[in-house]
A = this chain, B = another copy of it.
Amino acid sequence: MQPKLTVSTSERAQLVDITDQVAHIVAESGLMQGLCCLFVPHTTAGITLNENWDPTVKRDLLTALEGLVPWSLHYAHAEGNSAAHIKAALLGASACVPVQDSALVLGRWQGVYLAEFDGPRERVVVVTIIEDGVA
């Protein structure tokens, strides 16, 4: 009931659509009503939701983040991946999506993404299913 998704990224900065894998876990849980909380145990990757129809939305988001937090600026952190830490903080490490009838309550064009900022790597997303309601 607290499964981990493994996501292989192929670029330094990349939004990987994990909606289907998360939806599968929610369907298997049998949860009728509640919450599906996603978490990345990483400091240079994040979780975000956005349009999963037109791929240019992903590209624009990555380009905008690179413009705000350029990879090659002078940073204090010697590992050279400070921009990835900062972008991950801007998007956040967790997000909670409602569940109804064993399905994610997403908008029509909305998908769930792992946001990679220091790839390529193998990443993990921890999925926690919580039941709604007052006893």
Contact = CB atoms under 8 A, between A and B. Distances in A.
A131 B35 CA distance: 12
8 contacts: A31-B134, A34-B128, A41-B107, A43-B107, A48-B89, A63-B76, A68-B69, A131-B134
Given A41-B106, A60-B75, 11 more contacts: A2-B98, A35-B128, A39-B98, A39-B105, A43-B57, A54-B79, A57-B77, A57-B85, A60-B76, A92-B92, A94-B96
A89 B61 contact: yes
Q: Taking the full assembly, how many copies of this chain does it contain?
A: 3
B93 A94 contact: no
B132 A128 contact: yes
